[in-house]
Structure 1
């Protein structure tokens, strides 16, 4: 098995190192990750300048770009051999519900999927214990399953792991994305030159966090497995939207 590993926390992240150590005996692993923390980068792709690749003594490669850049270059230029799949993580914080819209971890996985590779995004729902080895063991179990997982086209698996020792995991639950309440207010501050600056406020708590959601599963000690479809079309709204659009004036009617 030939696996590409990436993340959004940077090439020196302990989560990435733990993932590599946990999977390295499965086959041929290549690591291509940002040279610094790019949390919240979403699917940004760098198009206004060339990118620099650096190889580290560990064998890991870093790129002065986004998580999406890393996967795109790795699959489409850095290596002559193809990959079997992409694994992104282990993120140092949760990627639950709305988080996936902003997440560079999820973006790295979706870029792999865009390029035709099965992909997993994995995050540790951190409680400050940093049990990255638990999350790495979860990913290994998923990859070693006797029944290959197929989610269909343009889909990835989003995995969130409670921050507990392996022995304390309650098991696995298949979940849907929940959603968060409104984010906290921006935090003003004054820089050393006397100018006002702002920190983005903290993410809101789980608003839709009941049974069946990823929020609820991890709160109960379960690993959350959520299939995420990259097609963002709200298919259920197409019929009502067509009816509404049919009531609009004719763009060519009545004008001069």
Structure 2
């Protein structure tokens, strides 16, 4: 299979390196375009007010790879339009260092890169490791390789956009796989006010998670040692309100 690989943690991150090694050993042809540095929580932003630069890097054996000065979505747009030398069968974004559960998908550069791939016409997967200072990237990479080997994407009557979260556990500790809904993850945002060496005020966003662990959601699945797969779709309009909204005169 021909696979376009990207992420939001940067071209040198352990997650994408582990995934590339596993997929290459499985016989897949890879093309990698990833940010030149960490771009976590950049969402679906794109760069329009400054140039984007791409530099070829030789850090993967026999794999074409580029580091890009833009966002994850930039990497996908530029990579698919200008850099890749084949038509991919699949786009994979990850492995992200940290989960992307519930409303995280709205902020995640990892998920947004997969969304951009879907928008551009490709089956796309976002893969994240719900890491907690252990970093079992091998478990997540092995699952991805096994999943795409067994899954017939052509059997679906629509293009796929999948968000996958893998518990940070050894493969032997994983209970199974759940296809489930997004959960609810509301964060308790706190802005710490600080002063820089020049005496100027600035703010640092901190805060804790307020995730609700409801059964049959991705949050519940990962907390209970299951791999969570959530099929996503991009439909922001509210069809019910469109149909029932009273007439507006102006």
Q: Give the TM-score range, shorter chain.
A: over 0.9
Q: What residue number does 2:223 align with?
A: 219
* Pairing 1:64–2:69 present: yes
Task: Give the 5 Å matches for 1:106-145.
Answer: 106-145=111-150
Corresponding residue to 1:236 among 231, 236, 240: 240
Q: Deviations over 1:155-214 (max 9, x none)?
A: 51000000000110010001111112342311222212222211112352203x210111
Distance, in Å, in 2 between the alignment partners of 1:47 and 1:150 is 38
Given the two structures, how large is their TM-score scaled by the length of structure 2?
0.92
Match of 2:37 in 1: 36
Displacement of 1:153: 4.4
| Counterpart for residue 17 of structure 2 | 17
- 19-28 or 128-137: bigger deviation: 19-28
Per-residue CA distance 1:49-91 (angstroms, 9 max, x = gap): 2211111121421000000111111111112421111000000
Q: Distance in 2 between matches of 1:132 and 1:201?
A: 26
Seen in structure 2, the aligned counterparts of structure 1 residues 113 and 135 have a Cα distance that, compared at 3 Å, is: same
After TM superposition, the runs of 4+ consecutive aligned structure 1 residues lying more than 6 A away are none
- Please give the TM-score of this superposition, normalised by the length of structure 1: 0.90
Report if aligned partners of 1:114, 1:154 keep a CA contact under 8 Å in 2: no
SS at match of 2:153: coil
Structure 2 counterpart of 1:254: none
Gaps of 5+ in 1: 252-256
> Corresponding residue for 2:3?
3
Residues 155 and 230 in structure 1, CA contact (< 8 A), matched pair in contact too:
no
Structure number with greater Rg is: 1
Q: Per the alignment, in what secondary structure is the counterpart of residue 37 of structure 1? A: coil
Q: Mind listing any 5+ residue stretches in structure 2 that lack a counterpart? A: none
CA distance in 2, matches of 1:150, 1:212: 24
Distance in 2 (CA, whole Å) between partners of 1:9 and 1:128 is: 16
Please give the secondary structure, in 2, of the residue aligned with 1:98: helix
CA RMSD of aligned residues (A): 1.6
**Mapping for residues 89-168 of structure 1, pairs under 5 Å:** 89-148=94-153, 153=158, 155-168=160-173
| Equivalent in the alignment of 1:53 | 54
